Structure 1
Amino acid sequence: MAEDSAQRVSDRVLTLPNILSMLRLLGVPLFIWLLVGDQIVWAFVVLTLSGISDYLDGKIARHFDLVSRLGQLLDPLADRLYILSTLIALAWREILPVWLVVLLLGRDLFMGILIIVLKRVGQTGLPVHFVGKAATFNLLYAFPVLLLSHIDGTVGDIARPIGWAFAWWGIVLYWMAAGLYAVQATWLLRGRSATTGDTGHGLR
């Protein structure tokens, strides 16, 4: 998007968005410790705060011109680490089914292979698009609500359908984003092949 490309990127480290991302990273072991200790309510609070901070750090960075190179690394790292650790922890507690974990980890494996292929031709990454952001948003909110659904009583009964709605939207958008990234990568690879005259590279 033109607005994103025009955004100034600084080398600052101690900014509010970066601090929020760092706190989100520190919250990963705290969440696992709480979940292992069967402190479901407090684990829910940590996951919820993680989702809120994920929204706030990007919003604050763009609105107050605080976009930084460190933030561009920390934010997606915190998201991926939170999703991965939450998936494993919730599956271990049998709160999430194994097939859901396989679907989401399979997508990340697919994206990892795609990035490796792109790096071989000198492309360091792909532009982030709205579908990928929407997928992450849905998953970051699905996990705490699904965690809350395992509390007995009315709260759990209300949380269960809401959590699964977020989860299904997240799964669909997560894989849709992967498909869009694959299309972008194919265009890039074909463009490079056409420029160099080498038709041996490309995604099949």
Structure 2
Amino acid sequence: MTTDDKTVRSDRILTIPNVLSIIRLIGVPIFLYVLLVLEADWWAFGLLVASGVTDWLDGKLARLLDQSSRLGALLDPLVDRLYTLATLIGFVIRGIVPWWLAVLLIGRDAVLALTLPVYKRRDLPPPDVIYLGKAATFALMSAFPWILAAQVDWSGAAAAGAFGYAFLIWGTAVYVWTGGLYVWKAIAVARALPLK
């Protein structure tokens, strides 16, 4: 494969992973409607689980089918953030999690967005993803369905709540910690490299 082939491949839009990401994106408002308007917690649970499975699947298929693309690299984390944001807002409105937790998690991403100009002004790409940050996101995305399952009257509600809140606490701690690491990286870049 030549360099030109790689460039063409990386610019492709219609790939299986991208289609899965777009389906996930369409699912965000549907999830909010089911959670907040219908209050159909099992259906909302199913949508969260389906989102998690398709998130894992699109990354796996991108590597397996060699269908990684620039659009996918932007779309996948965007949809992850939208699901996290939508879930937190929905959970706060429903009284499932406290408002300050949502502010903490959303605030972390807002602070990181403020560091992006440090890289852009130096013609650098954003920093590589920290593995611990992926683990924290996984923990949070795992916590949400469990917490939702704990809201339903069934025999496993207490266990679901225990799992969910344990993942939520661990995920939040690591998510905030990795946010600090990203900020530290941005400060180091700003000090070490002059503006272009």
Give TM-score, length-normalised by structure 1: 0.85
Q: Aligned partners of 1:174 and 1:27: how far apart in 2?
A: 24
Whichever residue aligns with residue 20 of structure 1, its letter is L
Moved more, 114-123 or 168-177: 114-123
Q: Does 1:13 align with 2:27?
A: no
Map of 1:55 onto structure 2:
56
- Secondary structure of the equivalent of 1:154? coil
The letter of the residue matching 1:44 is: F
Q: Counterpart of 2:157 in structure 1: which amino acid? A: G
Counterpart mapping for 1:123-202 below 5 A: 123-193=124-194
Aligned equivalent of 1:91: 92
Unaligned runs of 5+ in 2: 1-5
Q: What whole-Å deviation, never above 9, does each CA across 1:110-138 have from its counterpart, x for those lacking one?
A: 11111234334443411112111111111
Letter of the structure 2 residue corresponding to residue 12 of structure 1: R
Residue pair 1:132, 1:177 contacting (<8 A) in 2 also: yes
Q: Distance in 2 between matches of 1:116 and 1:174?
A: 21
Q: Which fold has the larger relative contact order, with Cα–Cα distance below 8 Å and residues 6 or more apart in sequence?
A: 2
Identity %: 46
Displacement of 1:147 in angstroms is 0.9
Pairs aligned (count): 189
User: Structure 1 segments of 4 or more deviating over 4 A?
Assistant: none
CA distance in 2, matches of 1:72, 1:18: 9
TM-score (norm 2): 0.89
Cα deviation for residue 185 of structure 1 reads: 1.6
- What is the distance in 1 between the residues matched to 2:62 and 2:188? 30
Which segment is superposed worse, 144-153 or 179-188?
179-188
Q: CA deviation at 1:156?
A: 1.2
**Distance across 2 between alignment mates of 1:61 and 1:188:** 31
Q: State the shift of 1:99 in Å.
A: 1.9
Task: Give the stretch that moved more between structures: 12-21 or 41-50.
Answer: 12-21
Report Cα offsets for 1:30-65 as digits up to 9, x if no partner.
101111211110000001111111111112212321
Q: What SS does the corresponding residue of 2:10 show, helix, strand or coil?
A: coil
- Tell me the distance in 1 between the aligned counterparts of 2:176 and 2:90: 22
Distance 1:142 1:53 in 2: 17
**8 A contact 1:131–1:176 mirrored in 2:** no
Is the CA contact 2:118–2:190 (under 8 Å) kept in the aligned structure 1? Answer: no
Q: For residues 80-104 of structure 1, give each alpha carbon's deviation from its aligned partner in whole angstroms, at most 9, with x where no partner exists.
A: 1111111101110111111211210
Matches of 2:86 and 2:173 in 1, distance apart? 20
Aligned equivalents of 1:111, 1:186: Cα separation in 2: 12
